[in-house]
Amino acid sequence: MFPIRDHNPSGSPPVLTLALIALNVAVFVLTSASVSTFQAESYIFEFGLIPARLLAGQGYATLLTHMFLHGSWMHLLGNMLTLWIFGDNMEDRLGRTRFLAFYLGTGLAAAAAQIAIDPGSRLPMVGASGAIAGVLGGYIWLFPQARIDVLVIIVVFFRIFAIPAWIVLGLWFALQLLTGAATPSEAGGVAYWAHIGGFVAGLGLTAALVRRSPPRPDRAGGRLVPLVRRRR
């Protein structure tokens, strides 16, 4: 089940969302596509967040740099598609300056959650997933009824369904909880607790900062979708 777009137009150009996407792509190209595999791995260990190193008082800059590194094209593309689908509405509601602070803040909260679960880990954590999970937490609070087009693939069966955001993102969060609880912290791989921490932080920050949008008729399909107000 893969979200591919939403039916929730924003009221202003998503300049910051596009800039974040461009920065992530540029960093990936510079650190992996144009260098050898060995050099790419060295970047991951140098600029990725390693809990044990951070708690030893080293590598504080990696709290920021790890959010812009990705381990593969699939990792990058999945994160950037998600940011593109959900980031524009969050940027529109918060304004660009607050959205940037929100994005980085939820990314830090995600890192803190993963560090708390496995403080002795010497594996580098990389990716924008934690910050983007924060965007998802904010989105589900502000736009729970917004329709998300989801591509469902079952063997050779392909179909797109329009599903309310609270179902799509709620199921995603439940999956993170279940998988995170079932996966040993030292196993490596996906940082599920970073996703959980980022989502909870995004939900809490958004609830504290702004109110939910009232629904309005969607001109294209006659459905009720959240009203998006332009904010600078």
pLDDT of residue 187: 60
- CATH fold for domain 2-226: Rhomboid-like fold (1.20.1540)
pLDDT interval class at 54 (50, 70, 90): very high
Return the domain boundaries, the chain: 2-226
Rounded CA-CA distance 126/128 in Å is 7
In this prediction, residues 23-47 reach a mean pLDDT of 81
Single pTM value for the model:
0.87
Asked whether 165 and 139 are in contact (CB, 8 A), the reply is yes
- Burial call 91-110: b when 16+ CB within 10 Å, e when fewer: bbbbbbebbeebbbbbbbbb
pLDDT of residue 188: 63
Say if residue 151's pLDDT is above 50.
Answer: yes
